[in-house]
Structure 1
Amino acid sequence: MLSKCLFPVLVVALFLSYNTQTAIADVSSGRSGGRMGGSSFASSSSFKHSSPPPPPSSFKHSSSSSFSSSSRGLDESEDSSISFSFSGYFSNEPRRRSSTFSSPPSHFRNYHYSPDVSTETTRHFDPSSSTVSEEETENEKKGSYSGLLIFLGTVILAIGGFLYLTEPWYEASVLMVQVGLSGKATVLLGDLNRIAETADTSDVKGFHQVLQETVSVLLQHRDYWISGFTYVDKNKSVTENEKSFNEHSLEERKKVGIESLVNFNGEQKRTSTLKGNKLEKNYIVVTVLLSIRGVKNLPSIKTSKNLESSLESLRFVSLADTMAVEVLWTPQDVKDMLSEDDLLENYHHLRPI
């Protein structure tokens, strides 16, 4: 009799337990994180590496020498010798230069050489001969300077050509700027949440605007900066760049318990979170991940000026060069906390500033 009475009680208890677990699953107890941005890799396959431009069409050989082939009418498959004819400076026989000699100056005509030996020799000074000698010396100096400049220019061009041929040609790159802030910057969290809730991330223009607004918000809260980190990954193709971007994105997303606010590629999602414990020291980390065409270098973070310069570099990335943008921040909920232990464990690469 007692067992019959307890059976309905056990069924009700199991039912309530299942509903409670489901409710707890809907409200995550992990550290919250936000994510917004978008990617246009699907439409970037048409982007190809641009080769160096050919020489301009106006660049042609001088008309002083003409080139003609006597085998234009022959079949290309035949093995025939090709003759060339040249016309221009080399078609005419060289002309013989006629030389005329002017009579010597009068002082040479009036000068008589005396065979007698004397202790004094009379010399006649011609000022014109001294002038000619000085001009020749000056011309020689100018000629030597010109030769030196031509030599240096040739060396510079040779070095530049060598570097151009041997230096890898990168087609795209992945940029990452990470900012660590004091947990007191709760206004920053509110601004990021507002951007994620209102942004249109369905196209490149929309998530490029997300990048611009995020950088502006971070620069406005520079007083709360405590650390930073930058990273650049150069890739030779868009395919390699897409792979690198996705790998870095996944690595950063694994550092949060749940993405409680998401607005990526036009899809939005929001999940409730449990309130975190109050801590004396808590922090905020914002990660800006960017995929662009071409290469842009970022400075290593040693001071706040370096971090400011890196963020400004992201701000000036053009819409045409933007392929993907992803902004991650934790905690997403202002009631949640990022402890010092979590900061050291997951973001140990951040450099204090």
Structure 2
Amino acid sequence: MIVSDPFMAQCGYVDKIASGLEKSNVEFGTFTDCVADPTTDSIAAAMESWQQGDFDSVVALGGGSSIDTAKALAVLAVHGGKMRDYKAPNPVPIGVPIIAIPTTAGTGSEATRVTVVTDTETQEKMMCLGSGLMPTAALVDFELTMTMPYRLTADTGIDSLCHAMEAYISRKANAFTDTIALASMSSIARNIRIACDNPDNKVAREAMMLAATQGGIAFSNSSVTLIHGMSRPLGAFFHVPHGLSNAMLMPAVTEYSLPGSVSRYAECARAMDLASLSDSDADAGIKLLDGLYRLNSDLQVPSPKTFGISETDYADVITTMAEQALASGSPNNNPLIPEQFDIEQLYRKVWS
């Protein structure tokens, strides 16, 4: 089964894959109703299509949402149940093989054993984690990203930057992930503005695509931290695209976390050419914060307020968002492990 979204179908990319399968006499079906930030309802719709055929594998074509949908489908198709049954820390068994073809340079989902699905009943953005969600193969072609509009390019690029930076400062960081994370950060810092301002620049697009996959490999092996822990509830309650919710949080959460690992954050600054070897770690950390706030300004990242979220609605769920962030486990990987009060204060800080 080919799993994709309406835009990919409209662009003709689904037909290109279908044509190749037809020429090879491979039987297939399609599901092209993936939604941004998949929900248990949208996964159920994909399962209905799956049950109408006799499929043995999934080809995921699209951004992180399509790939996450395909991952969930691959597990449910074999083992049944509901997605909440596989919410971390519950194990995720092996399902049918997944071939991932990413079309955005952001989530790195083609190289991770993670999927994120919003429970329609509770509005919780559930993280599912396990080897059953790792694609069997990934076909990474930067030319598929050439049609990405400015906002998507910016938000998915910052998502990749979060993956790399969080992997590097995570308490689970290791020698393997360090080199990949630093390479990803360096490439994103050099190319993200170019890719946004000059979308036809193939050199920048290719660099961002490689960095996205590197970021996925890095955080899949060392985990994300507080930014992602806080990002999932914000996205679930207010339908903020995942990359954008990360971008809203990244500078303020980094500012909070900096005292917990000054030397590691300093290396992030140096990798991103925001600081030099002659800068002390303390000065490099300050330059990192300046650079992250400036990046958000340059790429016109809105605050929750300017995004259009009601202040009353936002205030009403701050406690719940903080509880869900803690329950995800990601904040425990942070250099500075927060209490619920700290997370609530951070949500208030990023509001405007």
Q: TM-score, normalised by structure 2?
A: 0.23
Greater helix proportion? 2
Higher relative contact order (CA 8 A, sep 6+): 1
Q: TM-score, normalised by structure 1?
A: 0.23
Greater strand proportion? 1
Q: Which has the larger radius of gyration?
A: 1
